[in-house]
Amino acid sequence: MPFDRVLTGARLACMTTGAAPYGQVDDAVLAIEAGRIAWIGPADALPSPALQTDHLDGRWITPALIDCHTHLVFGGNRSDEFERRLKGETYTQIAQSGGGINRTVKETRRLPALHLAADTLRRLETYTAEGVGTVEIKTGYGLDRDSELNMLKAIRAVTHSADVRICATLLAAHAIPVEYEGRSADYIDEVCIPLARQAAQEGLADAVDAYCERIAFSPEETRRLFIAAKAAGLPVKLHADQFSDLGGARLVAEFGGLSADHIEYASRESIEAMAASGTVGVILPGAFYATRETQAPPIEWMRELGVDMAVATDANPGSSPMLSLLTAANMACVLFGLTVEEALAGITRNAARALGRHDEIGTLEVGKQADLAVWDIEGPADLVQWIGHRPLHGRLMAGEWV
């Protein structure tokens, strides 16, 4: 049986763990069958012919990139808050004075799902131009039942129209909506938990997320939501310890969570708990940079304790106005001291793990989806060294050029 497609003359950064840095394979052939990687090896050992052969002239192939944390569906504009922050106000102060997430909520609630989806598709163009193949998108700017469902509908519309895979995350517990001011526990019980159950039942979301922070939800409220989400069969993840240590990373680890995100202020005990549960640490240098945070996430502890690190854009109109995953990888290296290999693992293998999709995507391995990025580069570090550089030659999704 011939393969559907064979890519020859390439260098592979398989991003598998093992002896070779980047899981590098030189002068390789990658064969595709039914949308999946069917064989990887040297040209002279190819076990069967192919219906189609593409010679890649020494280009590099990596897994298509994965952004495991974004807020790409939103309405409105908050560039005036950027100006206010430049004059000295903090992200927290702006959030507490009617700006921040609740401001975007007002704008988002006004817009039909198809309008939100169309805006999101435009934002996704910079991702695909950079070799991204999978993007997680959160709700969290609806904050009432119908508006959160409207956001999920927008995400589904994007899923059908975009040439990227989309993972939908329910983040109803993103902020306390104005209607529930002073009654955050009621909001969790009356809106977030029923929505999590509905999302699970109707297959509307792949995971449940929350924002555990002084300006949002307490660890106890987060715990109640997580109990309900897990009971409904949805995995959890958490915006944890971004501005203060509330023990959020430890909490999500206790639930076997997919990831703890931000984690600038996470304690060593929390990182130990993440190591024990296999919870990925998602670092978000765009938010660190744009909020002028000074406390870096505990990279050394994660390395020492063997916590997998992912890197994401956190794209949103407030704390992380950034649409470039390669820039996030660059910042993770420059601001936090990740190696290039750690940064690339953070936007491939470990990002897949943070989405619970590591059996399907994130590395070049036989059996996985043939989601590939083909690059005009001399080596993997070229992807991370530059800002604003897009050396993408092309992308394949499930084995087809897109």
Q: Which residues bind ligand NIG (CB under 6 A)?
A: 71, 100-101, 104, 211, 239, 242, 287, 314, 316-320
Q: Which does 223 bind (CB under 5 to 8 A by kind): Fe ion, ligand NIG, none?
A: none
Q: Which is nearer to ligand NIG, 22 or 91 (CB)?
A: 91
Nearest to 101 by CA among 324, 327, 354, 320: 320
Tell me the sheet residues that pair with 60: 11, 375
How far apart, in Å, are the Cα atoms of 40 and each of 50, 161, 365? Answer: 13, 31, 8
Question: Hey, is 127 helix, strand or coil?
Answer: helix
Report which residue's Cβ sits closest to Fe ion.
314
Min dist. Cβ of residue 192 to ligand NIG (A): 15
Say whether 198 sits in a helix, a strand or coil: helix
Instruction: From the list Fe ion, ligand NIG, none, pick the one residue 257 interacts with, judged by a Cβ distance below 5 to 8 Å according to partner type.
Output: none
Bridge partners, 262 (sequence order): 240
Task: Pick the closest to residue 150 from 77, 204, 206 (CA basis).
Answer: 204
Shortest reach from residue 316's CB to ligand NIG, in Å: 4
Residue 120: both structure tokens together: 């999101």
Q: CB-wise, 56 or 310, nearer to ligand NIG?
A: 310
Q: Which long-range contacts (CB under 8 A, 24 or more apart) does 39-44 make?
A: 39/3, 39/366, 40/12, 40/14, 40/364, 40/365, 40/366, 43/8, 43/9
Nearest distance from C-beta of residue 138 to Fe ion, angstroms: 7
Displacement of CA 398 from its chain's centroid (Å):
20
Residues near 174 by beta carbon (within 8 Å), at least 6 away in sequence: 101, 138, 139, 140, 141, 143, 209, 210, 211, 216, 239
For residue 55, the tally of other CB atoms under 10 A from its CB is 11
User: Which of Fe ion, ligand NIG, none does 331 bind, CB closer than 5 to 8 A by kind?
Assistant: none
* Partner interacting with residue 209 (select from ligand NIG, Fe ion, none; CB below 5-8 Å by kind): none
Q: Name the residues that contact Fe ion, by CB under 5 A.
A: 314
At closest approach, how far in Å is the CB of 36 from Fe ion?
A: 32
Kindly tell me which of 35 and 76 has the beta carbon lying closer to ligand NIG.
Answer: 76
Q: How far is the CB of 100 from ligand NIG (least distance, A)?
A: 5
Q: Which is nearer to ligand NIG, 71 or 395 (CB)?
A: 71
Question: Residue 211: which of ligand NIG, Fe ion, none does it interact with, CB under 5 to 8 A by kind?
Answer: ligand NIG
Binding-site partner at residue 104 among ligand NIG, Fe ion, none, CB < 5 to 8 Å by type:
ligand NIG
**Residue 349 interacts with, from Fe ion, ligand NIG, none (CB under 5-8 Å by kind):** none
Nearest-approach distance from CB 141 to ligand NIG, in angstroms: 7
Q: Which residue is nearest to ligand NIG (CB)?
A: 318
**What does residue 288 show for φ and ψ, rounded to 5 degrees?**
-60, -45
